[in-house]
Amino acid sequence: MYAVVEKGGKQYKVSAGETIEVEKLPLKVGQKIELDRVLLISDENKVQVGDPTVEGAKVMATVAGQGKGKKVIVFKYRPRKRYRRKAGHRQAYTRLRIDKIIV
């Protein structure tokens, strides 16, 4: 069984027991969270597609950690103008462990 959930403007395909990394959430490690924007649920032989979400469906998750992603280098450059700007960015994320999918 798997579900497609929306969090932070992005969609994630999840199933029970796996972990995902979403945009940073203001939660502590160990806290429970309920993801209610479930767009699709699939069993072995049945698929429910929401319009836009599946009614009454929820995904229960636990915060497994907070962290930062890899550094991305941003470099701006204008030829012949002596203009160079270098900056780095590390995106903050929250790691969620999926506990169960409720239909």
Question: Per the structure block, which two tokens stand in for 39?
Answer: 């767009």
pLDDT of residue 17: 95
> Residue 44 above 90 pLDDT?
no
Q: Is 99 left (phi over 0), alpha (psi -120 to 50) or beta?
A: alpha
Contact 39, 53 (CB under 8 A): yes
Phi, psi (5° rounding) for residue 23?
-55, 150
Task: Determine the Cα–Cα distance for residues 82 and 90; give it in Å rounded to an integer.
Answer: 27
Task: Determine the Cα–Cα distance for residues 53 and 89; give it in Å rounded to an integer.
Answer: 33
Predicted TM-score (pTM) of the model is 0.84
Total domains in the fold of the chain? 1
pLDDT of residue 103: 86
> Residue 71 above 90 pLDDT?
yes
Question: Average of pLDDT values for 76-81?
Answer: 97
How many CA within 13 A on the CB side of residue 64? 13
Range of the domain at 72: 2-102
